[in-house]
Amino acid sequence: MALSRSTHSLWLTRGAVLGAALLLCAPLAFLAISPGEVAPGLWPHVASVMLPRALAQTAALLVGVGAIALVLGIGFAWAVTRHEFPGRRWLEWALALPLAFPAYVLAYVYVAGLSFSAAPARAWRAIGLPADAFPEVRSLVGACVVLGLALFPYVYLMMRASLMRHGSAAFDAARMLGASPRQAFLRVVMPATRVAWLGALGLVLLETLADFGAVKMLGRDTLTTLVIQSWTGLKSLALATQLALAMLGGVLVVLLLARRWQRATPPAAPELRAPQRTRLSPVSGLAVTGAATLVVLLGVVWPIAQLIAWMPSTPWAAVPWSALRGTVAIAAMTAAVAVVLGVGIAAARRRFPGDRWLGAGSFLAGLGYAVPGAVMAVAVFWCLLSLERALGAHVAAIGLSTGLFALVLALVMRFQRVGLSGAASALAVMRPSLMDSAALLGHRRPSRWWRVGLPVLRPGLFAAALLVFVEAMKELPATLMLRPFGWDTLAVEVYNATSEGLWSQAALPALLLVVVGLIPVLLLLRDRR
């Protein structure tokens, strides 16, 4: 029996989406089935000496950074959405600005700015305070604070949006029934916004787990640093592969548990009325203003001022043009591929809503966003290297595993979720009636998309491409491990300079990364007003 036209189209769409998703997941799948053989005696050494410390440091960082991000993000989101206090309007958007700082840039500023010879340490000693009592940023507490400052805006933005959507009626009702503000917050607000703060916490923990530059600079040995050290220091790709596989397994278990928990959580109904803000007492208002201002100063103002102070007197002559060109080229290619794939997958899901196969393909295509960059780099390199060995010298001569293809593939896999989400948001604003009207006017499908669809989709697709572009610019582990010979990026320039203690040399590329990173943050704030 011949298939109908719609059924045939559905199966072709399924095949295309699942094919793209499987292609993006192929290196990770290959990592799972072919981990390689480790040299004798290497695993016992790593398991007894290096792995316990890495596990302990990783667990401590996850707990510490997660706690700081939750306290700051939820606390400030609750303050700006439900209360009036001095400076609320400018603090509402200023609290999101630390998101523009790559964590390794913030760590670099703190390590250099709080060193023994820096001005704060000298002033500390000048007023007679003991030198050994000066805060040590290269410690576990220092690492938690620095990463918490860089990552708490994830919780803040998502919690702020959730609180604005839910209004204040439930909280007010609990207060009228005799609950204290603390009881009403814990028993009503937190359960109602659980999906938001749990999702944000997941992002914070994944970013903490994936971080390499910041934890390396702050003297912490984590699982990610162990993976890279196994590859570059111990010269064992097989060991790095097996460690990366173990990390991937842990991430997948957590993702599946989080997905099940979110499905089990019934969404709270949004309220039509915006939450009513109550004015804090003068003392409480000044306390909130002071705390928020301090966070903005520590997370934005001082780092930018410090980078500007470290810049050379002739910054234009000191611009690393080669690294800048390499960064723009790699990020642009990543953004183009990710957005095109994202549009295709999002359009397929829009055409056949509710199809489980397309939903599975979309989930698999965006799975790489939860995978640390170091793990992704190992998976791509191992897969392409094995492919070169299997296909012979002619393919090996192309240099798939050592060329630009490997890096762009890893970055697309890593940030495809961002491109997919942006494309889906862009398609959501286009009404089917627009395309139907163009069809009634005699335009064929290509003409309809070119004359009607593209102008409507252009702002959303541009925003999606910009987000992927910035994420690819800031990515350090995958770029550091896979970049072709002669292809340095701004992130690599910062890492190389700071590794050698050349603070002034790292200032300009770090400032360029921050300036570019501010663009999507400002766009995000504008869209959420």
Instruction: Supply the pLDDT for residue 432.
Output: 64
Q: What is the CATH number of the domain that holds 269?
A: 1.10.3720.10
Both 302 and 169 in one domain: the answer is yes
Question: How far, in Å, CA of 506 to CA of 322, rounded?
Answer: 15
Q: Does the residue 222 lie in any domain?
A: yes
Alpha helices in 114-139 (DSSP H): 119-126
Both 177 and 73 in one domain: the answer is yes
Among candidate residues 242, 276, 311, the one where a domain is terminated: 311
Instruction: Supply the pLDDT for residue 267.
Output: 53
Both 285 and 326 in one domain: the answer is no
pLDDT value at 253 more than 80: no
Residue 193: give the domain boundaries: 59-120+132-311
- Work out the average pLDDT over 474-501: 86
- Work out the average pLDDT over 279-289: 91
Both 300 and 336 in one domain: the answer is no
> Comparing C-alpha atoms, which of 176, 194, 193, 174 is closest to residue 184?
174
Both 79 and 116 in one domain: the answer is yes
Q: Does the residue 10 lie in any domain?
A: no
Q: Does the residue 356 lie in any domain?
A: yes
Instruction: Supply the pLDDT for residue 150.
Output: 92
pLDDT value at 148 more than 80: yes
How distant, in Å, are the alpha carbons of 21, 207, 246, 475 from that of 349? 13, 28, 32, 29
Both 301 and 369 in one domain: the answer is no
Among candidate residues 262, 286, 311, the one where a domain is terminated: 311
Both 94 and 182 in one domain: the answer is yes
Q: Which of 14-18, 30-34, 337-341 has the lowest mean pLDDT?
A: 30-34
Q: Does the residue 277 lie in any domain?
A: yes
Label residue 277 exposed, middle or buried (CB < 10 Å: 0-12, 13-18, 19+).
middle
Residue 344 neighbours by CB distance under 10 Å: 17
Both 283 and 404 in one domain: the answer is no
Both 255 and 396 in one domain: the answer is no
Q: Does the residue 23 lie in any domain?
A: no
Both 351 and 306 in one domain: the answer is no
Instruction: Supply the pLDDT for residue 272.
Output: 47
Question: How far, in Å, CA of 15 to CA of 11, rounded?
Answer: 6
- Please tell me the total count of domains within the chain: 2
Instruction: Supply the pLDDT for residue 2.
Output: 47
Among candidate residues 273, 291, 311, the one where a domain is terminated: 311
pLDDT value at 69 more than 90: yes
Give this prediction's pTM. Answer: 0.84
Higher pLDDT, 111 or 423: 111
Chain segment 87-105, per-residue pLDDT in tens: 998 999 899 888 888 999 9
Q: Does the residue 230 lie in any domain?
A: yes
Question: How far, in Å, CA of 522 to CA of 529, rounded?
Answer: 11
Both 113 and 190 in one domain: the answer is yes
Q: How confident is the model at residue 167 (pLDDT cuts 50, 70, 90)?
A: low
Q: Does the residue 266 lie in any domain?
A: yes
Cβ atoms 74, 199 nearer than 8 A: no
pLDDT value at 337 more than 90: yes
Q: Does the residue 42 lie in any domain?
A: no
Strands 83-84 and 278-279 turn out to be parallel
Both 370 and 465 in one domain: the answer is yes
Q: How confident is the model at residue 149 (pLDDT cuts 50, 70, 90)?
A: very high
- Work out the average pLDDT over 197-215: 87
